[in-house]
Amino acid sequence: MAHGTAAVAKLDSPRSPYARRKTTRGNYELYSWVFMRASGVVLLVLIFGHLFVNLMVGEGVHAIDFAFVGGKWSNPMWQVWDLLMLWLAMIHGTNGVRTIINDYATRDLTRGILKGLLLLAFTVVVVLGTLVIFTFDACPADAPAELLASFCTA
């Protein structure tokens, strides 16, 4: 850096009040911190409900098959439930793993590659999951009836 007259001219006057250096990075980390707490509470309700209905009611895990999913997603309430759960859990989880990568991957290149892979996984899973919830057909025409929900043949 040159010690010319231009640099001297930029000096603050002795009486200017102390000002903390303004950050140019915005409040991203603050919002991310708030999001983890807010989404965490919602996810507790969504995931406990999901686990209760899928693992505790009736035969539990043995009751799950294509017809079971067909029955659930024919109800808009479960579509919204699962969509919200997908998005919140993926953002919450991706943000958590981002924090862990930032903590332990010290080389810029390593950190960049890991976060690139994380973003890729996030995008693929969220897009795929969202499409599946909205384009799901509980009664595909070419499938054997015994594999489908009872309302398909009713």
Partner 1 sequence: MPTAPAGTLYRGREGMWSWVAHRVTGVLIFFFLLVHVLDTALVRVSPEAYNAAIGTYQTPIMGLGEAGLVAAIVFHAFNGIRILLVDFWAKGPKYQKTMLWVVVGLFVVTMAGFLPRHLINVFTGGH
**Which residues would be at the binding site for partner 1 (CB under 8 A)?**
37, 40-41, 43-44, 47-48, 51, 55-56, 59-62, 64-67, 69, 86, 89-90, 93-94, 96-97, 100, 121, 125, 128-129, 131-132, 135-136, 140, 143-144, 147-148
Q: In terms of Cα–Cα distance, which of 134, 152, 153 is closest to 71?
A: 152
Tell me how far, at minimum, the Cβ of 106 lies from partner 1, in Å: 15
Nearer to partner 1 among residue 7 and residue 38 (C-beta): 38
In angstroms, what CA-CA distances link 126 with 10, 40, 52, 73, 131?
A: 50, 18, 23, 17, 8
Nearer to partner 1 among residue 7 and residue 145 (C-beta): 145
Are 85 and 54 within 8 A, CB to CB?
Answer: no
DSSP state at residue 98: H
Nearer to partner 1 among residue 96 and residue 112 (C-beta): 96
Tell me how far, at minimum, the Cβ of 25 lies from partner 1, in Å: 22
Q: In terms of Cα–Cα distance, which of 92, 115, 103 is closest to 33?
A: 92
Nearer to partner 1 among residue 7 and residue 128 (C-beta): 128
Are 109 and 126 within 8 A, CB to CB?
Answer: no
In angstroms, what CA-CA distances link 109 with 93, 101, 104, 131?
A: 22, 12, 13, 33
Tell me how far, at minimum, the Cβ of 75 lies from partner 1, in Å: 15
Tell me how far, at minimum, the Cβ of 112 lies from partner 1, in Å: 20
